């Protein structure tokens, strides 16, 4: 997990070791990875960019396109689908907040409270990743049952008068955000766990020794030192959640819950509208890149080592 | 936090058990205000546990702890007017040096934080690194930051948990003097935990030697050194020559007991003996002993043992250390000042040993001659 938690810690103070010219073996070991990335990332991204500028073949069938330089595709796609794009980021943001609020205490319990009891820690970590043993789709469909109109969640909420009579949870934005948060929760817990696990408990003692109450010590010592994990976790949740289409398809209602991934899916596979799907994909990619860069930069310069 | 500065510490009948293991056993301790107090003992003797209980990082199983007249037993670390310099320094890596030092002041919402932080850093001669991160400092500098971070709060008690343990020998000696200077300057009560007997003796006004969760002996370094009361103290604080013997004559007109040691008669001041009858251990420090080569005679009032064979001669610069095998008594060490150059007695020579009867001390005969003589290099 150290790799994941390192994601946000760009400015770490490390003494640069004396540099030696990389040996030949170094390049040979790197080669498979480079070839793989070139074939399965660089080439497809190029193809995607190309496709996003295609135009329909005049008089051709549905799904027939020819190479062009139709920059207007982007304007059209954005004009038509900006609500879904914005919604994707709002849902992803909400899911990130929910996973952080739910996941941080879990990570804290495993890393700090269960410190020194490796069996318990191992067991809890297995429980965190246990949902991965079942199919992603199945688990998401299971949420339909959980949130169903005649399910216990709706009944309990209505009994508590937290939900008005006749209101429902399935096919609502609430259900989609719940699904996103549920599916990505382990990606928040694990990096935070790794950060907290490495936290020197003597620093917490030093905080107490310097008149900081447990809450203040958490605020001024523990939490800032776990920020690399928080940044790593939020990225691991926010990025895939922004592009997710499974949760919005299975738990949403296709009107006020559609996310951009769902649109891309529909355009690509059902309407065979490749240029729009491709340009939306490119826009999504760039938007995530910009958001993440701004976020890492802020987190990296202010609080992190 | 209204405790007077430099207030004393009282530890009364404190016991700390971890499961079945008793780390601190019915400990009583009193630290006078403004003193530099050292808790000395081997690892696992309970000294760090004692310190942690004073800091509030552990709670005693039984007994009470009073700081500056206020019973703090049961209160938590952040509620006590105590600061600790941790062995690992425990500097906050995400804060600058200046923010580290300001941490305690900010928690107590004190005024003049910037000025006081600058003063504290000046005190440890690190004013120029206030804006750096701890990771950018050397071990010695980090240690001084940790000290500044504690001193700046003017705690009623400043606890030092082997603060010099991670430094190399030369830096360590330098920091010992530095710490002593700072303590003089700020006038706080320092309680220093260490396993380094030399460190304890150079720095502290009062040393408490701990072993197995109890205090073996407490006093000024010179008193402990000159008159140890247990074999553990005799061996742990410096080195000692201990030989089993039996008291055969009561005190004479000069208050001297006569002790039979391996067939020789040794005189021991009754006032310097733990036991005045029966089996005893007769002790003398190696630097008090001189070697008599054939033809040399002891002076009046000197004890003599031997003859024995010199089995080892090691030159240590200021002194030469001899090992002399005495038949029926054991091996004695002798430290001879190199006043006239190097060794004067060769390996294999047959010699006698002499020392003033007034430097002899007596311990209980039930004690283990080797107690506390463990190899100090094995300590963490």
What residues in A contact B133, CB-CB < 8 Å? Answer: 13, 305
Q: What are the structural domain ranges in chain A? A: 81-302
CB B164 within 8 A of CB B175: yes
Choose among A205, A210, A304: nearest Cβ to B103. Answer: A210
State the virtual CA torsion across A87, A92, A93, A94 in degrees, nearest 10.
Answer: 90
Measured in degrees and rounded to the nearest 5, phi and psi for residue A246 equal -70, -50
Q: Across the interface, do B92 and A221 touch by the CB < 8 Å criterion?
A: yes
- Whether A124 has its CB under 8 Å from any CB of chain B: the answer is no
Nearest residue of A to residue B81 by CA position? A211
> Which region, left, alpha or beta, applies to residue A226 given φ > 0 means left and ψ of -120 to 50 means alpha?
alpha
* Closest chain B CA to residue A200: B90
Chain B residue numbers with beta carbons less than 8 Å from the beta carbon of A202 are 86, 88, 90
> Least CA distance to B85: which residue of chain A?
A206
Say what the pLDDT of residue A151 is.
Answer: 84
Q: List C-alpha distances in Å: B361 to A71, A191, B275, B281, B357.
A: 100, 63, 10, 8, 9
Least Cα distance to A268 among A259, A280, A250, A282 occurs for A280
Rounded mean pLDDT, B187-201? 90
Three-class secondary structure of residue B93 per DSSP: coil
Strand partners for B309:
B325, B350
* Among A116, A206, A207, the residue to mutate for chain B (most B Cβ within 10 A): A206
Mean pLDDT across B163-190: 84
User: B212 by DSSP, 3-state: which?
Assistant: coil
Domain boundaries, chain B: 9-226, 239-369
Cα distance from A304 to chain B (closest Cα, Å)?
Answer: 7
CB contact under 8 A, B82 and A209: yes
A-B contacts (CB, under 8 Å): 69
Q: Which residues pair with B336 in a beta bridge?
A: B320
Residues of A in contact with B136 (CB under 8 A): 13
Chain A residues in contact with B84 (beta carbon < 8 A) = 206, 209
The structure tokens listed for B365 are 């005969």
Nearest CA in chain A to B88: A202
Q: End-to-end CA distance of chain B: give it in Å, rounded.
A: 35
Q: Residue B145: pLDDT band by 50, 70, 90 thresholds? A: very high
> What is the per-residue pLDDT for A1?
37
- Residues facing residue B310 across a β-bridge: B324
Helices (H), B196-347: 197-203, 221-226, 231-236
Q: Which chain B residue has the Cα nearest residue A11?
A: B94
Per-residue pLDDT, B375: 52
CA dihedral B52, B58, B63, B69 (to 10 degrees): 60
Closest residue by Cα to residue A104 from A177, A215, A196, A214: A196
A251 in reach of chain B (CB within 8 A): no
Whole-number pLDDT of residue A300 = 66
Chain B contact present for A213, CB below 8 A: yes
**CATH code, B239-369:** 2.40.50.140
- Tens-binned pLDDT, residue by residue, of chain A (305 aa): 343 444 444 344 444 556 677 788 888 999 999 999 999 999 999 999 999 999 988 888 888 888 888 889 999 999 999 999 999 999 999 999 999 999 999 999 999 999 989 999 999 999 999 988 989 899 999 988 888 888 888 888 888 888 888 788 888 899 999 999 999 999 999 999 999 999 999 999 999 999 999 999 999 999 999 999 999 999 999 999 999 989 998 998 878 888 999 999 999 998 999 999 999 999 999 999 999 888 888 876 454 43
pLDDT given for residue B378 in this prediction: 42
Question: Residues for chain A: how many in total?
Answer: 305
Chain B residue numbers touching A221 (CB-CB < 8 A): 92
Closest chain A residue to the Cα of B91, Cα to Cα: A203
How far A125 CA lies from chain B's nearest CA (Å)? 27
> Do B93 and A305 count as a contact with CB atoms less than 8 A apart?
yes
Long-range CB pairs of B166-171, under 8 A, 24+ apart, other chains included: B166/B87, B166/B88, B166/B89, B166/B139, B167/B139, B167/B140, B167/B143, B171/B139, B171/B140
Quote the minimal CA–CA distance from A218 to chain B in Å. Answer: 13
A205·B104 Cβ contact <8 A: no
Buried b (16+ CB within 10 A) or exposed e, A113-148: ebeeeeeebeebbeebeeeeeeeeeebbeebbebbe
Q: Which residues of A6-33 are buried (b: 16+ CB within 10 A; e: fewer)?
A: ebbbeeeeeeeeeeeeeeeeeeeeeeee
Q: pLDDT averaged over chain B?
A: 89
Whether residue A208 and residue B92 make contact (CB cut-off 8 A), yes or no, is no
DSSP state of B328: T
Note the pLDDT of residue B369.
84
A209 reaches B (C-beta below 8 A) = yes
Q: Which pair of structure tokens corresponds to residue A87?
A: 């919604």
- CB-CB neighbors (< 8 A) of A200 in chain B: 88, 90
Strand B190-194 relative to strand B157-161: parallel, antiparallel, unpaired?
A: parallel
SS3 B357: helix
CB contact under 8 A, B90 and A200: yes
Using an 8 Å CB-CB cutoff, list residues of chain B that contact chain A.
55-57, 76-78, 82-84, 86, 88, 90-94, 103-104, 107-108, 133, 135-136, 149, 153
Contacting residues for B260 by C-beta, under 8 A, at least 6 apart: B245, B246, B248, B266
**What distance in Å separates the CA atoms of residue B223 and residue A267, rounded to the nearest whole number?**
92
Distance of CA A248 to the CA centre of its chain: 14
Q: Cβ–Cβ of A303/B78 closer than 8 Å? A: no
Nearest C-alpha neighbor of B34 from the set B14, B62, B63, B5: B5
Looking at per-residue pLDDT, the higher value among B252 and A96 belongs to A96
H or E stretch at A2: helix A2-5
Which segment of A56-65, A183-192, B117-126, B204-213 scores lowest on mean pLDDT? A56-65
Average pLDDT over residues B354-359: 94
Q: Which residue has the tokens 């070791």?
A: A17
Strand partners, B319: B337
* Complex ipTM: 0.83
B9-226 folds as Rossmann fold (3.40.50)
Q: Are A140 and A251 in contact (CB under 8 A)?
A: yes
pLDDT beyond 70 at B243: yes
- Quick one: CATH architecture of A81-302? Orthogonal Bundle (1.10)
Residue of chain A whose alpha carbon sits nearest to that of B109: A211
Whether chain B has a CB inside 8 Å of the CB on A12: the answer is: no
Q: For residue B82, what are the β-bridge partners?
A: B157
């Amino acid at each position: 997990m150290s790799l994941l938690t390192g994601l946000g810690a760009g400015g770490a103070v490390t003494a640069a070791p004396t540099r030696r010219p990389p040996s030949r073996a170094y390049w040979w070991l790197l080669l498979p990875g480079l070839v793989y990335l070139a074939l399965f990332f660089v080439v497809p991204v190029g193809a995607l960019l190309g496709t996003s500028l295609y135009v329909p073949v005049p008089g051709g069938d549905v799904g027939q396109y020819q190479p062009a330089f139709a920059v207007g595709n982007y304007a059209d796609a954005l004009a038509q689908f900006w609500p879904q794009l914005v919604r994707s980021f709002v849902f992803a943001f909400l899911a990130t907040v929910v996973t952080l609020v739910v996941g941080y205490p879990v990570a804290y319990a495993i890393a700090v409270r269960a410190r020194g009891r490796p069996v318990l820690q191992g067991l809890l970590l297995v429980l965190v990743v246990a949902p991965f043993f079942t199919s992603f789709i199945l688990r998401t469909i299971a949420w339909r049952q959980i949130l169903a109109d005649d399910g216990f969640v709706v009944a309990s909420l209505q009994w508590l008068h937290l939900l008005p009579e006749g209101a429902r949870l399935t096919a609502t934005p609430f259900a989609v955000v719940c699904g996103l948060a549920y599916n990505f929760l382990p990606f928040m817990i694990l990096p935070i766990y790794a950060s907290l696990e490495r936290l020197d408990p003597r620093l917490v003692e030093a905080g107490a020794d310097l008149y900081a109450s447990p809450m203040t010590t958490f605020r001024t010592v523990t939490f800032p030192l776990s920020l690399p994990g928080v940044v790593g976790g939020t990225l691991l949740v926010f990025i895939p959640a922004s592009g997710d289409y499974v949760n919005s398809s299975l738990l949403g209602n296709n009107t006020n819950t559609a996310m951009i991934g769902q649109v891309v899916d529909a355009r690509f596979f059902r309407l065979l509208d490749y240029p729009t799907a491709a340009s939306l994909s490119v826009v999504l990619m760039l938007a995530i890149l910009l958001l993440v860069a701004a976020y890492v930069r802020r987190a990296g310069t202010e609080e992190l080592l | 936090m209204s405790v007077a500065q430099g207030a004393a510490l009282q530890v009364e009948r404190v016991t700390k058990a971890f499961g079945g293991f008793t780390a601190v056993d019915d400990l009583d301790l009193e630290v006078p205000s403004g003193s530099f107090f050292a808790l000395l003992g081997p690892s696992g003797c309970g000294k760090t546990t004692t310190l942690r209980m004073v800091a509030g990082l552990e709670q005693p199983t039984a007994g009470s702890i009073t700081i500056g007249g206020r019973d703090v037993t049961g209160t938590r670390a952040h509620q006590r007017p105590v600061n600790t310099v941790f062995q690992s320094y425990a500097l906050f890596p995400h804060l600058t040096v200046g923010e580290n030092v300001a941490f305690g002041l900010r928690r107590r919402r004190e005024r003049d934080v910037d000025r006081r932080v600058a003063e504290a850093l000046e005190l440890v001669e690190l004013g120029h690194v206030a804006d750096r991160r701890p990771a950018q400092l050397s071990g010695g500098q980090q240690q001084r930051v940790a000290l500044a971070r504690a001193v700046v709060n003017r705690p009623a008690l400043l606890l030092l948990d082997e603060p010099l343990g991670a430094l190399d020998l030369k830096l360590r000696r330098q920091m010992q003097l530095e710490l002593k200077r700072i303590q003089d300057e700020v006038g706080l009560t320092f309680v220093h935990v260490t396993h380094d007997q030399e460190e304890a003796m150079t720095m502290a006004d009062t040393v408490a030697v701990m072993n197995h969760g109890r205090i073996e002996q407490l006093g000024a370094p010179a008193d402990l050194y000159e008159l140890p009361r247990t074999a553990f103290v005799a061996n742990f604080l410096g080195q000692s020559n201990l030989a089993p013997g039996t008291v055969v004559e009561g005190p004479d007109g000069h208050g001297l007991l006569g002790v039979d040691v391996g067939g020789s008669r040794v005189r021991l001041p009754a006032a310097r003996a733990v036991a005045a009858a029966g089996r005893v251990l007769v002790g003398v420090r190696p630097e008090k002993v001189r070697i008599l080569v054939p033809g040399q005679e002891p002076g009046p009032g000197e004890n003599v043992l031997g003859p024995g064979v010199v089995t080892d001669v090691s030159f240590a610069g200021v002194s030469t250390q001899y090992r002399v095998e005495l038949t029926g008594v054991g091996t004695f060490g002798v430290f001879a000042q190199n006043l006239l150059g190097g060794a004067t007695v060769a390996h294999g020579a047959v010699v006698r040993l002499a020392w003033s009867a007034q430097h002899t001390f007596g311990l209980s005969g039930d004690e283990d001659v080797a107690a506390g003589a463990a190899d100090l290099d094995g300590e963490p």
